[in-house]
Copies of this chain bind each other. A is one copy, B any other.
Amino acid sequence: MASQSIAHLFRLDREAKTSLQAQLRTRIVETIDSGVLPPGLKLPSSRKLGAQLGVARNTVSLAYQELIASGHLASRERSGVYVAERRRLSPATAVAGTRPREESSAVMRRAPQRVIPSGRLRYPPDWRRFPFPFIEGLYDRTLFPIAEWREASRMALAVKEVESWSTDTGEADDELLVDQLRQKILTRRGIAASADEILVTVGEQQALHLAFELLCETGSTVGLEDPGEPDVRALAHKRHADVRFFPVGDAGVEFEDGLEGVDLFYVSPSRQRPTGVTMPQAMRETLLAQAREADTLIIEDDFECELSFLADAPPALKSADGDGRVVYVASLSKVLSPGLRLGFLVGPADFIRAARRLRDLTTRKPSPITQRTAGIFLSLGHYDSMLRRLFDIYERRLIALRDALNHYRPLSIAIPPVTGGTSYWVRGPAELDADALRSAVQNAGVLIEPATPFFAEAQGHSNMFRLGVTSLDEAHIRPGIEALSREMRKLADRKDGNAFDPAGDDAEAKLLSEQDLRRHLTGARLDYQTVYGEPCTIELCEDGRMTGRAGYAQEDRDEGRWWIEGDHWCRRWTAWAYGETGRYRVEKEGSQIFWLDPDGRRIDRASIAPTANTETELAP
């Protein structure tokens, strides 16, 4: 091969993130490894190759030097640079294996244990291309604390640190990380744990896996939340446990009939997975009392423990665990990045000993480098800063989602109350088919998660879905929900259905004329509910002003103006509904009134409260 032609092998990408020198080294190593450049081949001089590639001579020269140092190239005095003779690393023994590509390999034909059905929800792998990926948990790369992590990473690779984490201490975790978890994370959850009560895991999933492996077996009765994470169900099934499902309400999992006969109870009280609701303190105390009564063990999943911005989070169940029956699992991924895969398990010391041995057998300990890097990251205060930053960002996003849902009201939906987190659980009208909706909205660039896979029984939940904002910029949330509403209405039309059933008594619906509007709405008080279930009252004054009060304590207020244009009722709030003007036709049916969109579809309703004012009634 004439050295003239070699340059063509090293195509460099000037747009790439890696330096030209690093690219060149990679290309040279590749061509040597693949046998394209044989041992003994003379390479062009750095000046010549530099000219051919259009890069500085020095770039080539440095690449050569590195590769001579690494043994890929060799230099002969006054003669030049050659591909090294590779005495040791034999040029790939002739590749011998024939690979069976048929449908089923001998391994899988004989394998007694078949494929576990996939329990994780699906979304397109190229989800980043979609403008509105409302999929909970997807990672927003812009939130990764690059500079801070780099600093911690650099420090973890200092010579002295390497000496420390590379000492094989068996299954002991990184002392610094364990200490930081205790001080910075667990104390905030009200948990005082000593080092021997903590185990670092490969993400939260391993913590759950170890807990299920150790705490249940064939014939154990395991109580699970319904809806819940499919992979939590899969872990119980993997242990051949008998599963008993407990329904989830607005205050978390419900256990009115007690826990008698339940050996192990899985609960996510801080923010229920997947609905996001929070279990109140009183209910937690009842749960612990009942667990003691029935001698039930508890796995407490506190995966989003750090993200309660809408209300104070009660301390973890584990904090009031008097007799060591609660095993606590959580993760650093929600704040730090799923790129790290670090979680942890907190339990009584004897349990942690057993879990450590099982971790040893199944994976050994999580990467000591990563543990040390995370420990340093926490010790420098970066975790707290990151958390504060996420608090602000996620809070804004979640409120943006709530506002958009409340404004666009895609059909008749309801969302349970949450105290934080990054998602809303949406219940649509009974006839909604969330799977059909998912397909329909995907074409409009919107990704949603139908709820069915979260339920033990698929039937009866096809009208629910989840909307998450972890990967959506605040600015994308409103247009995303607007697109979602539009698609939902189209879907409802295609079904020839109407979102709202005829309401209440058999009274006939009447489309209001200009005069009707004036008669029914002037001076009226309208009672309705926000999309997240809070009461809202709107008073329409005769002078055209209006006052809105929302929330149980009427803590959320706004002022605005209303008026009538022909047969349309119009309004504009100062802040609510983005301060935009709304213009609607209105129908009345008994004491209910309905707002219609331009196509005549009912998009919202309210009831007209009996007031001092004769028979007035009214709108949003």
Contacts and interface: CB of A to CB of B under 8 A. Distances in A.
A354 B161 contact: no
Contacts of A172: 125
A322 interface: yes
A354 B116 CA distance: 7
A286 interface: no
B34 A213 contact: no
A365 B205 CA distance: 10
A188 B93 CA distance: 6
B203 A363 contact: yes
Nearest to A95: B192
Contacts of A209: 361-363
Contacts of A220: 112
A71 B384 contact: yes
A259 to B, nearest CB: 13
Contacts of A168: 127, 137-139, 338
B163 A141 contact: yes
A190 interface: yes
* Residue from A104, A139, A216, A363 whose CB has the most chain B CB atoms within 10 Å: A363
Interface string A95-108: 11111110111111
A155 B190 CA distance: 39
Interface in A115-149: 115-116, 118-120, 125, 127-128, 137-139, 141, 144, 146, 149
Contacts of A127: 168
A150 B154 contact: yes
A113 B213 contact: yes
A288 to B, nearest CB: 11
Contacts of A26: 379-381
Given A90-B312, A113-B217, A381-B67, A366 B238 contact: no
A137 B190 CA distance: 41
Nearest to A241: B112
A18 interface: yes
A89 B387 CA distance: 9
B347 A105 contact: yes
Interface stretch (A323-331, A425-433, A499-507): A323-331
A115 B357 contact: yes
Interface string A7-40: 0000000001110001001100110011000000
Given A25-B380, A361-B119, A159 B367 contact: no
A217 B141 contact: no
Contact of A108 (B116, B312, B348, B387): B348
A113 B214 contact: yes
B120 A360 contact: yes
A249 interface: no
Interface in A399-449: none
Interface stretch (A313-321, A519-527, A555-563): A313-321
A455 interface: no
Contact of A363 (B106, B202, B238, B379): B202
Nearest to A337: B166
A382 interface: yes
A558 B363 CA distance: 49
Contacts of A393: none
Contacts of A59: none
Nearest to A167: B128
Contacts of A381: 25-26, 29, 67, 70, 72
Contacts of A364: 202-203, 205-206, 341
A153 B107 CA distance: 37
Nearest to A326: B107
A183 interface: yes
23 contacts: A18-B155, A22-B380, A26-B379, A67-B381, A70-B381, A92-B188, A96-B190, A97-B192, A105-B324, A106-B325, A107-B325, A111-B214, A111-B354, A114-B354, A116-B357, A162-B339, A168-B338, A205-B360, A209-B362, A340-B369, A341-B364, A341-B366, A362-B362
Interface of A: 16-18, 22, 25-26, 29-30, 33-34, 67, 69-72, 88-90, 92-101, 103-108, 110-116, 118-120, 125, 127-128, 137-139, 141, 144, 146, 149-150, 153-155, 157-163, 165-170, 172, 183-184, 187-194, 197, 201-203, 205-206, 209, 213-217, 220, 231, 234-235, 238, 263, 295, 297, 309, 312, 315, 318-327, 337-341, 347-351, 353-354, 357-358, 360-370, 379-382, 384-385, 387-388, 391
The 8 closest A-B pairs by CB, nearest first: A105-B348, A105-B324, A17-B160, A70-B385, A106-B325, A29-B381, A100-B324, A96-B319
